[in-house]
Amino acid sequence: MTDGPLLIPIMGDQLTPDIASLRAADKARSVVLMMEVADETSYVRHHKAKIAFILSAMRHHADRLRAMGWTVDYVTLDDPANSGSFTSEVARAVERHKPAAIHVTEAGEWRVQAMLEAWETRFGLPVVIHEDDRFLCSHAEFDTWAAARKQLRMEYFYRDMRRKTGLLMTAEGKPEGGEWNYDADNRKPAPGRDLLMPQPIRIRPDAITQDVLGIVAERFADHIGSLGHFHFAVTHEDAMRQQRRFLDEALPRFGDYQDAMLTDEPFLWHSILSPYINAGLLDPLALCREVEARYRAGKVPLNCAEGFIRQIIGWREYVRGIYWHEGPDYARRNALGATRPLPGFYWTGETDMHCMAQAIGQTIDHAYAHHIQRLMITGNFAMLAGIDPHQVHVWYLEVYADAYEWVELPNTIGMSQFADGGLLASKPYAAGGAYINRMSDYCGTCRYDVKQRVGEDACPFNALYWDFLARNEPLLRRNVRLAMPYRNWARMDEQDRAATREQAARFLSSLD
């Protein structure tokens, strides 16, 4: 081993100043390496605003680390010497700094982790890969949990995370309020337009962000999305401002309306914090403890606090566990044999289906849609229409600012598309127009009639829903949670069933 410095690469989703690879290092004998590389901006065609958010947040984080006393070697995307990949940039840094060893925090995705694991052989240097302890549940802990169960249901994992953290638990070790889950209280339909509806803070781009926006506009002009609505926080301080805005103004009604949808209202009472949590600008456990404190101070109803905490320590941790537990082949699961190409309107929002135009349109504008728009609008449509789930996965990974493969892939393959055959979800999240009408105001101004199943003006979701059940009956008929829909399908006379399937076939042919 040489007497050179420690080289510490930091990735774009590791923007946490006390991340494991930095925590024990000696600032005086370390060089932090941060790299903007072409491979990471283009392995899928990311939304322009997603690229701009990550690059600007990285540049601001580098300044934060420098202010803390770290030496930072920063390679910008437009550096003429930039080689375009993590491994090649680490190779150049090894030549520059002659390090004694490389320390890095484990990657969030399989393909990047494979790079890290190859570095020791590639560079002939000791490479220490630190566990990412920003998460509550390690890979080994999740694997142990999974090995003891026939079904890997999130609800039971979530209960273990509640016990582990003590969040919303009584002194006697019971769940606060006597129930683990208050989701039944969190399904209220949209209350109508509210002039007092909270809005996230719109951050004015500073000089660093303006430079990044210019680079992205020029270099990624043909990628999906707009930069005209760029409003993201790109520093820890501004992310904390957004956190306080959510806690003060939106959290008290978040639970009630977390499934609601309103025309031209992309944010409602949602936190809009997931990009900052997933990039490392916010601490998820500290956020959950603040939510709990608001509940205990009487400022937030229990259903709102529990619903939000469940999304973080339950669902977010659980899907990460599934991602690493299942391995790289999970991305190609296709239990329902869906093969139709993703329709072109997923990139334009140009469709007569008002719900789809709304969800996709705001995605193009903001690189954001909330979980019900993703699951029950764009995801539901794709599953009903038999779209290739891998194409759906790539689209979600491209278009959302909070989308990293570890969190996006299980949500898409498992929850949204049921392509894993029920490993993650207990049933397909399939619904016709009635659900959308109940939870939104989208149907009132749609060119289609949500109450019609067949005919020129019939809502496409209605025939597609029944067609989905019919064509997948051999695979889904035994699912006890679908017993009622299949009984209803069987009660329809043969002529109605045929007309419904013909309606679906005509619509699907128009997609081609």
Q: Which of 87, 57, 92 is nearest to 73 (CA)?
A: 92
For the chain, the 3-state helix, strand and coil shares in percent, each to the nearest 5, are 55, 5, 40
- CATH code for the domain of 489: 1.10.579.10
DSSP string, 19-62: -HHHHTS-GGGEEEEEE--HHHHHTTT--HHHHHHHHHHHHHHH
Q: Which one-letter DSSP state was computed for residue 105?
A: E
Provide the terminal-to-terminal Cα distance of the chain, rounded to the nearest Å.
61
On whether both 232 and 291 belong to a single domain, the answer is yes
506 and 466 belong to one structural domain: yes
User: What is the reported pTM?
Assistant: 0.96
Number of folded domains in the chain? Answer: 3
The span from the CA of 86 to the CA of 41, in Å, is 12
Residue 363 within a domain: yes
Residues of the chain with pLDDT under 70: 1-2, 195
* Domain-ending residue, one of 98, 130, 162: 130
pLDDT of residue 195: 60
Give the CATH number for residue 318.
1.25.40.80
- Predicted local distance difference test score (pLDDT) of residue 2: 61
Determine contact, residues 463/503, Cβ cutoff 8 Å: yes
- pLDDT value at position 185? 84
Same structural domain for residues 465 and 388? yes
The answer as to whether 211 is a domain residue is no
**Host domain of residue 353:** 344-511
State which of 298, 326, 354 marks the end of a domain. 326
Q: For the chain, what is the largest distance between any 2 Cα atoms, rounded to a whole number of angstroms?
A: 81
* 374 touches 234 (CB < 8 A): no
In a domain, 275, yes or no: yes
Establish if 215 belongs to a structural domain. no
Place of tokens 């209202």: 265
